[in-house]
Structure 1
Amino acid sequence: MARSAHPSGQHHLGRTAGLIGAAVGLAAAGTAIGVAVTRSATSAVRANQLAGEVGDGRQVADVPAGELRQEDPLGAASRTADRTALVRTDDGVLLSVEEIGPADAPLTAVFVHGYALSMASWTFQRRDLAAQLATANGHRPSARLVFYDHRGHGASGRGDAAHATLDQLATDLETVLDARVPRGPVVLVGHSMGGMTVLTLAQRRPELFGTRIAGVALVSTSSGNLAELDFGLPQLLTRLRTAVLPVAAWTMRRRPAFAEHTRKLAHGIVSAATWSLSFASTDVDPALGRYVDAMIGGTPVDVIAELYPAIAGLDAGGAVEPLRRVPTLVLTGDADKMIPRAHSEELAGELPDAELVVVPGAGHLVLLEKPEQVTDALAGLFRRVAAERGSVRPG
């Protein structure tokens, strides 16, 4: 029987497959590379208000610390930002940026979050690194920590769907560097899609690595071959995901309101899948599970749908050579179902001087599940970079 090309036929297809598509597509594909953390709607509104107030420059403005910040639902006492800013990208999207530590610190670390996440995913590192990166001399932080939200995530603005590419995210990262870190050595810390963004920048601008960019941390990430991952699902569910993903993606892009409604109806399925795909521990604090559930529920489905093809089609093999010039940390959980540890081991194998850290009993959200190990490994990388650069040693 011929397939209907009429919009009403597409609508019927979306409705009949919508529940399965949204539940399995969001749980098994939408959370496949990273799990969402979002800002409140009022933060985005405030960002738009500020955009109207401060003009058209690339670096829009510094704004009072905390203006764009979300309450930490984990109660983790995340360190309050010393500075909050908006940065305008080359196509006019406003990115929300928060900073901790002195602007003239000898070293800056820029944190790049994962797919459907926000800078809030770094809540434990933000709190604990701020404490660790203090020198014995007056407890002055010897590094500045910079966090920002990708376009379409958190408190940042939305861009056109045509710009939902890793090349654009890499361009955005460079824009943040130009606006907020114009001088001094930088360490880039990327989780999941954030690591892919760093790798894409290395492909596009290899000359930055070893000069301006002095170190790299790649957490739970990959340089490619992601389209065929099964995310630890049984074969039957993997086939089901493959069958419904095109329908789910069409629904999320073309009928986001319906997809959002369906996602709410399938909350229990999505929550269970999120827990399984994100964590490996059996004793994860329920508050952390609720935190992740809130992240998933707050990420627009069309943002998930627009970015997924770029992630699935990633080929960043050309990024390896530039990374050989700088100290590199590759970190993964030993039970990551979304981007298996083999992807990190392959990356580390191509970087003979890289440090490979495999965290026992950790899944894809290792930065939230085992935060102490991640923080300690990052502090070690910062010490290596600072020692090589001859700056004040962190920690």
Structure 2
Amino acid sequence: MSAGFTAEDGTTLAYDDLGAADDGRPPVVLVHGHPFDRTMWQPQATALVAAGYRVIVADLRGYGDSGVVPGRTLFGVFAADIAALLDHLGIARAVVGGVSMGGQIAMEFHRSHPDRVAALVLADTSPVAETEDGKAFRNRLADRLLAEGMGGYADEVIDKMLAPYNVTGLPDVAAHVLGMMRGTDPEGAAAALRGRAERPDYRDSLAGAGVPVLVVVGADDVYIPVAEARALHGLIPGAGLVVVEGAGHLPGLERPEAFNDAVARFLAEVGKG
């Protein structure tokens, strides 16, 4: 079911609430990355609903069908939106997963609302706070997107979002990713970039995580190399790690069967726990 609700500040947030949980298993909330929208999770949502899970996918404020708030959107605001959505749906705890920036927002949600997290899925993401150079880069990019729009940026990064061989080998996936990037409102993207530049370091909160955690990474991700994913995995006692062959930064779209299998096996273990 596609729907929307209004956050405390009046921003409309769009979401899909799909399926129904069997046997009391916690719902699964999936958080998209930048500059995408909730449609990036369609392969995962379809597979998980078929397996008997309730799945919630939302457009972050500034993206997709959600309202756009210019300026700067801190990760704490995105996390508060997830909490408000769970309240709206009457959900106390959920498995929270995210890719790239969405993974960082999942980490922020875990840091700020630990009692609401049943497990974490962290795909192609980093827990480390932004460097000074990184802050400057993100703020420059925000300025550029506001000045030029999303098209040139989308064309520049498509072969980093996807492994280059998948840009040509998976033309429908490439078209979907380009469409999401080009369709994002520059004001929403810029606000998120400015907030992302100010994110805290999540290593301490993850090291003390008392919930199951799965780390996933594409074998050919240039943004988050496998070595960085292994470092994230090593921070978290008992965490799992899956390297998806034949994928770059978005393995859930590039190799959905392998990605879905990893998540399904992880959720089965969470259910046993």
Band the TM-score falls in, shorter-chain normalisation: 0.7 to 0.9
Q: Which residue of 2 aligns with 1:114?
A: 33
The answer on whether the counterparts of 1:89 and 1:95 sit within 8 Å (CA) in structure 2 is yes
2:214 pairs with one of 318, 323, 329: 329
Distance in 1 of aligned mates of 2:49 and 2:30 = 13
2:79 pairs with one of 151, 170, 178: 170
Distance in 2 of aligned mates of 1:369 and 1:228 = 32
Residue identity opposite 1:119 in structure 2: R
The answer on whether the counterparts of 1:348 and 1:356 sit within 8 Å (CA) in structure 2 is yes
Distance in 1 of aligned mates of 2:117 and 2:140 = 41
SS of alignment partner, residue 194 of structure 2: helix
Residue 367 (1) aligns with residue 252 (2): yes
SS of alignment partner, residue 242 of structure 2: strand
Distance in 2 of aligned mates of 1:226 and 1:331 = 21
Q: Identity rate of aligned residues, in percent?
A: 29
SS of alignment partner, residue 217 of structure 2: strand
What runs of 5+ residues in structure 2 fail to find an aligned partner? none
Q: Which residue of 2 aligns with 1:318?
A: 204
Could you report, residue by residue, the CA deviation over 1:185-205 in whole angstroms, capped at 9, with x for unpaired residues?
A: 421111111111111122223
Distance in 2 of aligned mates of 1:205 and 1:102 = 23
Deviation of 1:111 (Å)? 0.9
Aligned residues between the structures: 268
Q: Which residue of 1 aligns with 2:110?
A: 202
TM-score (normalised: structure 2): 0.88
For the pair shown, which has the larger CA radius of gyration, 1 or 2? 1
Distance in 1 of aligned mates of 2:260 and 2:250 = 13
Residue 224 (1) aligns with residue 135 (2): no
Deviation of 1:225 (Å)? 4.5
Q: Any residues of structure 2 matched to 1:203-352 within 5 Å, and which?
A: 203-206=111-114, 208=115, 212-227=116-131, 249-253=142-146, 255=147, 259-260=148-149, 264=151, 266=152, 270-271=154-155, 273-280=156-163, 282-283=165-166, 284-314=169-199, 315-323=201-209, 325-352=210-237
Distance in 1 of aligned mates of 2:216 and 2:90 = 25
Deviation of 1:319 (Å)? 2.3
SS of alignment partner, residue 188 of structure 1: strand
Could you report, residue by residue, the CA deviation over 1:221-269 in whole angstroms, capped at 9, with x for unpaired residues?
A: 1112454899xxxxxxxxxx96xx765533544x4xxx23xx55x4xx8
2:48 pairs with one of 117, 129, 136: 129
Deviation of 1:289 (Å)? 1.5
**CA 1:252–1:286: 2 relative to 1, 3 Å:** closer
Q: Which residue of 1 aligns with 2:64?
A: 154
Residue identity opposite 1:218 in structure 2: L
Distance in 1 of aligned mates of 2:133 and 2:178 = 23
1:99 pairs with one of 17, 38, 56: 17
* Greater displacement, 189-198 / 284-293: 284-293
The answer on whether the counterparts of 1:170 and 1:197 sit within 8 Å (CA) in structure 2 is yes
CA RMSD of aligned residues (A): 2.5
Distance in 2 of aligned mates of 1:297 and 1:160 = 18
Deviation of 1:151 (Å)? 0.3
Distance in 2 of aligned mates of 1:213 and 1:200 = 11
**CA 1:204–1:348: 2 relative to 1, 3 Å:** same
